[in-house]
RNA sequence: CGGGGUGUGGCGCAGCCUGGUAGCGCGUCUGGUUUGGGACCAGGAUGUCGGAGGUUCGAAUCCUCUCACCCCGACCA
């Protein structure tokens, strides 16, 4: 491809709409343009990258025996009503009506559609196992689309669905997809980690996320220094402290803490470590008032809290409800002296505390030296309700946990029979008995992979594409293309020869000055740059520089094809 | 949804407080000089100042409403 006949609208300055580095670079390099919030057009160069990612995914999925299909983006409401998800999905789902006033949605995912196919077409265990996949546009009306294609509303997803005759088969299919994902992300040149995850709204039992490691990631993942344990912090278990609760050593006393509503402020005022304080979080379950206790240096994990028996579904109590139940303003509330109707749940770490500090249920005061059993009843329940923090013991007992940020690019779920049962899909087993197939579903955010790759691979000059997703392998920069016949002939010849051996080359044949061409080439991040100049040609030499190399290397023009073939391999 | 912010030529921004009919840099077009790290000179084009309404002799500027976009939050006692 020649730049003069291509379309790469690069920008010197990033549009004000962009915040994240990958988003800025995608706009500046002319990969994408925004149409509306969370809606992006892919320009030629960007689309080439997207297709590269898709190709790797297809190759690996096909190699694993998955079968590509293509399902409609627009789906009838009836299908979703069968699984109740017409209601469950809520405002995340984009809905519409056709001319007959019938309800449809723009599919946020395709379990219902694929299960509909399965219930119509799969009749015998002899047809199992089978795995269908597609690469297709999804729409999710996100609360807050952001970071360009990283969290877009319309995006491309590879989604796969496996059907097995039994649980053992599902386990095999799940593992096969886990392995495929590992191969895909490895091939794409990403640093990633597979982490245990909550199965969330999709439902099911086993689940792993594939997280690309990046500081700007929206997800926090916990991993062990002493084993291969890794989990989303939403899921990572916080073990009870190894040491039992010490004996009470101090009397309980009320201390004035005017204006100090946060644990951090109270600890600072009293000159004590934050981990001696306890914060009380007020929740409502119907009309029940619950008080959840976590240490001042910890944070509540809502997913874990929802698993406390009797608490789900819950919401945070309003200020008015707090005052009604505790007769105190938020900021000074605590578990001491509360009415017996208040359900108190202590995090495991709180249950092991003695002489702690908490709100006094009186504005402007906290209590110090508080002890369970002596000053207040033992909590009604002790549970793991907090997020793990760096330094916690690993749940598998090996090593300690570290926290890293990640971008979720893939997610595998073992669904079981949730959808096949809800939609009446069944096949006849070897005994001629109808059985619901065991299902799994497996997603990769194709468009997000592109953004994640940039987030992980860029420098101050621009993108640094991992080879398998680079839009072109080589950027050919002739200096004086329009002035020097020797340069033009050499550049044209090398350009042609490289294409002949299957190396994708982008030839910058514009009349731009060298600095402009270099800057653009670095911005769009091709892995290899070749510079051809009259000066070098006089000695029979041209230059090669890898995108990560600090300086160019002179190579013999006659050997250029062989050298580049080797280096781009 | 709550809070904050921003909408001025393709991109980045100034002008707004203190109303007088729009400006800078980049880009772009033409001509010329340049040609190994985002050149220079000369000339040109491009704006319903997000939209609607109002105040005023006069509105980018003040007021009201509205739309769009961005950021933060929704983990808080």
- Residue A26, SS3? helix
Give mean pLDDT, residues A181-207: 82
Q: How confident is the model at residue A200 (pLDDT cuts 50, 70, 90)?
A: low
| A528-533 and A474-479 beta bridge pairing | parallel
Mean pLDDT of chain A: 92
Residues 306-365 of A with CB under 7 A from strand B: 316-317, 319, 322, 330-333, 359
Question: Which of A530, A529, A541, A528 has the alpha carbon at shortest distance from A486?
Answer: A541
Residues 528-547 of A with CB under 7 A from strand B: 531, 533, 535-536, 543
Other C-beta atoms closer than 10 Å to the C-beta of A399 total: 14
Quote the tokens at residue A356: 């702690």
Q: How confident is the model at residue A458 (pLDDT cuts 50, 70, 90)?
A: very high
Q: Which helix (H) or strand (E) holds A477?
A: strand A474-479
* Share above pLDDT 90 across residues of chain A, in percent, rounded to a whole number: 69
CA A81/CA A63 separation, integer angstroms: 35
Give mean pLDDT, residues A497-510: 97
Identify nearest nucleotide to residue A333 by CA to C1′ distance: B77
Specify the higher pLDDT residue, A473 or A244: A473
Question: What pLDDT was estimated at residue A186?
Answer: 97
Bridge partners, residue A368, by sequence: A253
Check: CB of residue A136 under 8 Å from CB of residue A157. yes
Check: CB of residue A532 under 8 Å from CB of residue A491. yes
- Does position A288 have pLDDT exceeding 70, yes or no? yes
Residue A168: exposure state from Cβ atoms within 10 A (0-12, 13-18, ≥19): exposed
Say what the pTM is. 0.89
Tens digit of each residue's pLDDT (9 = 90 or more) over A125-168:
999 999 999 999 999 998 888 889 999 999 999 999 999 999 99
- Does position A74 have pLDDT exceeding 80, yes or no? yes
Straight-line distance from CA A9 to C1' B29, in Å?
17
Question: Which of A268, A270, A262 has the alpha carbon at shortest distance from A333?
Answer: A262
Residue A384: which residues within 8 A CB-CB, separation 6 or more?
A237, A238, A239, A240, A301, A304, A347, A348
Residue A13 CB in 7 A reach of strand B = yes
Check: CB of residue A77 under 8 Å from CB of residue A493. no
Residue A534 DSSP code:
H
- Does position A204 have pLDDT exceeding 60, yes or no? no
Check: CB of residue A228 under 8 Å from CB of residue A334. no
Question: What pLDDT was estimated at residue A16?
Answer: 85
CA A522/CA A508 separation, integer angstroms: 12
Straight-line distance from CA A15 to C1' B6, in Å?
13
Give mean pLDDT, residues A27-52: 94
Q: How confident is the model at residue A556 (pLDDT cuts 50, 70, 90)?
A: very high
The interface predicted TM-score (ipTM) is 0.92
Q: Which nucleotides in chain B lie less than 7 Å from some protein C-beta? A: 1, 6, 11-13, 25-27, 34-39, 68-77
Quote the tokens at residue A567: 């280096």
């Amino acid at each position: 491809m020649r730049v003069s006949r291509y379309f790469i609208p690069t920008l010197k300055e990033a549009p004000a709409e962009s915040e994240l580095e990958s988003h800025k670079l995608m706009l500046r390099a002319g990969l994408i343009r925004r149409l509306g919030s969370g809606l992006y057009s892919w320009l030629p160069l960007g689309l080439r990258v997207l297709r590269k990612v898709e190709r790797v995914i297809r190759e690996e999925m096909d190699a694993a025996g998955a079968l590509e299909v293509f399902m409609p983006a627009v789906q009838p409401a009836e299908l979703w009503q069968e699984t109740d998800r017409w209601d469950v999905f809520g405002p995340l789902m984009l809905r519409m009506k056709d001319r007959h006033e019938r309800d449809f949605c723009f599919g946020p995912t395709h379990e219902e559609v694929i299960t509909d196919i399965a219930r119509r077409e799969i009749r015998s265990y002899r047809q199992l196992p089978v795995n269908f996949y597609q690469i297709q546009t999804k729409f999710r009306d996100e609360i807050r689309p952001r970071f360009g294609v990283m969290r877009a509303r319309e995006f491309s997803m590879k989604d796969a669905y496996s059907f097995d005759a039994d649980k053992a088969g599902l386990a095999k299919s799940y593992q096969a997809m886990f392995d495929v994902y590992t191969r895909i992300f490895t091939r794409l040149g990403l640093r990633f980690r597979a982490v245990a995850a909550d199965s969330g709204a999709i439902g099911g039992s086993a689940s792993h996320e594939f997280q690309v490691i990046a500081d700007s990631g929206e997800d926090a993942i916990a991993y062990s220094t002493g084993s291969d344990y890794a989990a989303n912090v939403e899921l990572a278990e916080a073990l009870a402290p190894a040491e039992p609760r010490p004996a009470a050593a101090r009397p309980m006393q009320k201390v004035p803490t005017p204006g100090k509503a946060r644990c951090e402020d109270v600890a600072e005022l009293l000159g004590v470590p934050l981990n001696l304080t306890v914060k009380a979080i007020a929740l409502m379950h119907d009309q029940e008032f619950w008080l959840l206790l976590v240490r001042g240096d910890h944070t509540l994990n809502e997913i874990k809290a929802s698993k406390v028996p009797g608490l789900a579904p819950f919401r945070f109590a309003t200020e008015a409800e707090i005052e009604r139940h505790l007769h105190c303003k938020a900021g000074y509330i605590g578990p001491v002296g509360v009415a017996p109707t208040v359900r108190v749940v202590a995090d495991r770490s709180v249950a092991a505390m003695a002489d702690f500090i908490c709100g006094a249920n009186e504005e402007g005061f906290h209590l110090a030296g508080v002890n369970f059993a002596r000053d207040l009843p033992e909590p009604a329940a002790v549970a793991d309700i907090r997020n793990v923090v760096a330094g916690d013991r690993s749940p598998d007992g090996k090593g300690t946990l570290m926290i890293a940020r990640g971008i979720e690019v893939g997610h595998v779920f073992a669904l079981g029979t949730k959808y096949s049962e809800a939609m009446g899909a069944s096949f006849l087993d070897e005994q001629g008995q109808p059985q619901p197939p065991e299902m799994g579903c497996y997603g990769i955010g194709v468009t997000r992979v592109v953004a994640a790759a940039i987030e992980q691979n860029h420098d101050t000059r621009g993108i640094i594409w991992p080879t398998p997703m680079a839009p072109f392998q080589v950027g050919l920069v002739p200096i004086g293309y329009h002035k020097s016949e020797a340069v033009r002939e050499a550049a044209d010849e090398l350009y042609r020869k490289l294409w002949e051996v299957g190396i994708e080359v982008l030839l910058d044949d514009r009349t731009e000055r060298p600095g402009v061409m270099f800057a653009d080439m670095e911005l769009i991040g091709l892995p290899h740059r070749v510079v051809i100049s009259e000066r070098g040609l006089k000695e029979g030499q041209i230059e090669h520089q890898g995108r990560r190399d600090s300086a160019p290397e002179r190579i013999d023009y006659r050997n250029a094809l062989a050298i580049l073939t080797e280096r781009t391999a």
